[in-house]
Amino acid sequence: MFNSSFPSYPLNQVVLKDLLVSIGQDRVLWAPRTGPDGLCRLQLVSEEDLPSLASLTFIPLKKLLLPPREAVWTHAAGQFSAVDVPEPFAVIGVPLCDLQAIWYLDQVFADDEVYQSRRMQSLLVGMACEPGPDCRCDGQLMPVAGDIFVGRERVWAISAAGDSLIRSAGFSSPDTDVMLPWPEGTAEKRQNLLEEQFYSGLDASVWEEEGKRCLSCGACSVVCPTCYCFDMLDVAAVDGTVTRHRVWDNCFFAEHGEVAGGHDFRPGRANRLRFRMEHKFFGFGILRGQNSCVRCGRCHKVCPVDIDLDRIAEQLVGEGFS
Ligand code: SF4
Ligand code: SF4
């Protein structure tokens, strides 16, 4: 198990209330809220309206740290100017799987000033949750990031900033031996698909079968808490000011694999589905070998044609491509 040695404190509801109030004193507060359409989204909330449990939001927390379109620099009159730093904000009621996803994004964007400036302004408070039917979270998949985790019986300090806030609120008598409480009763662990099995199964029938059903809508990537593909877009104004924007891209879109000269590395939907699964299971670039899926189940839930990465993994293992 990763990150098992965070200090934790016995939960005291009165002190917890003081802690949450102190967090809201100089930060904008976001928390999950379920709307009349039945979808849970992050909403701006007041200190009186904070949750006591985490909820899995339809659109993940990454949207606050990696907005769909953001300016990364502006150039005017021979000078570059940095992006605006967002005001401090806290997200209260984040499930553990989403804290893992933030850990992954923190690695990917470790040297990215724009991402890091948003991250520095954020305070992330995880909470215990009730797993849904699509949840298959697993503490073994990767470490968690964030600042504080509020369990049913204890409060954990994940970061030094979180520990300082916890102590200032009045929590005392920390213990370092209590593990983060991963939800029980989530579905079975992922089929252990090995990289060799994946590569032996590059021509497996499952890709064409599932690829034929895939609509290339990209919804799975939009809701995935660890998908981060982006494109760069330079916009020049009439006065010569140029602003560079980072814009979400999506590996399911037909032009994602196109390069100059018109060659397309992934012209078919089966190619694109396989590409995404490879990177969810076996990581990317310097994080190669690190699984990048936290098994939140969002992609399966949102998919209009019921494509499920776990089922594909089971099929690859079951067909014995090794
Ligand atoms: S279950 Fe799907 S949405 Fe969730 S992290 Fe894995 S690939 Fe992304
Ligand atoms: S949500 Fe489903 S149909 Fe849409 S791109 Fe993803 S796998 Fe394909």
User: 248 CA to middle of ligand 2, Å?
Assistant: 16
Name the burial class of residue 289, with classes exposed (0-12), middle (13-18) and buried (19+) by CB atoms within 10 angstroms of its CB. exposed
Pocket test for ligand 1, best of 99, 280, 301 (most atoms within 8 A of CB): 280
Residues of the chain above pLDDT 90, percent? 71
**Widest pairwise Cα distance in the chain:** 64
Nearest CA to 169 out of 13, 5, 6, 7 is that of 13
20: which DSSP letter?
A: H
260: CB partners within 8 A, 6+ apart: none
With beta carbons less than 8 A apart as the criterion, state whether 285 and 265 touch: no
Ligand 2 shell residues, CB under 6 Å: 214-220, 252, 302-305, 307
Q: Which helix (H) or strand (E) holds 39?
A: none
pLDDT tens-digit series, residues 34-63: 999 999 999 999 988 999 999 999 999 999
Pocket test for ligand 1, best of 296, 301, 302, 303 (most atoms within 8 A of CB): 296
Rounded Cα distance, 4 and 10, in Å: 16
With beta carbons less than 8 A apart as the criterion, state whether 100 and 144 touch: yes
With beta carbons less than 8 A apart as the criterion, state whether 65 and 119 touch: yes
pLDDT tens-digit series, residues 278-308: 999 888 888 888 889 999 999 999 999 999 9
Q: How many other C-beta atoms lie within 10 A of the C-beta of residue 192?
A: 8
What is the structure's pLDDT at 1?
A: 56
Counting ligands in written order, which one lies closest to the CA of residue 102? 1
